[in-house]
């Protein structure tokens, strides 16, 4: 099954949302690039054992 069709089916199954127009499927196809960029980061940074506290990082890195 093609990526777009797979994704369309998953969205309908999980969220009960149908593609609102043709462009929606174009944007779904463009997610392939987002996936590639995301996967390229695998192994670059470890997933933190504890949930990361972004707010703590803001405080730690202030002047």
**Interacting residues with another protein (CB under 8 A):** 7, 10-11, 14-24, 26-28, 30-31, 34, 37-38, 40-41, 44-45, 47-48, 51-63
Residue 48 main-chain phi, psi, to 5 deg: -70, 140
The least CB distance from residue 40 to another protein, in Å, is 7
| Cβ atoms of 35 and 4 closer than 8 Å | no
Instruction: Output the smallest distance, CB 2 to another protein, in A.
Output: 13
In the bound state with another protein, the residue whose beta carbon lies nearer, of 1 and 40, is 40
State the minimum distance, in angstroms, from the CB of residue 1 to another protein.
14
- Pairwise CA distance, residues 53 & 57, whole Å: 7
8 Å CB contact between 49 and 43: no
What six digits make up the tokens of 35? 């996936």
């Amino acid at each position: 099954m093609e990526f777009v069709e797979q994704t369309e089916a998953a969205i309908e199954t999980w969220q009960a949302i149908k593609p609102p127009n043709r462009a929606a499927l174009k944007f779904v196809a463009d997610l392939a690039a987002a996936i590639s960029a995301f996967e390229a980061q695998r192994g670059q940074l470890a997933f933190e054992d504890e949930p990361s506290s972004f707010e703590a990082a803001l405080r730690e890195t202030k002047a």
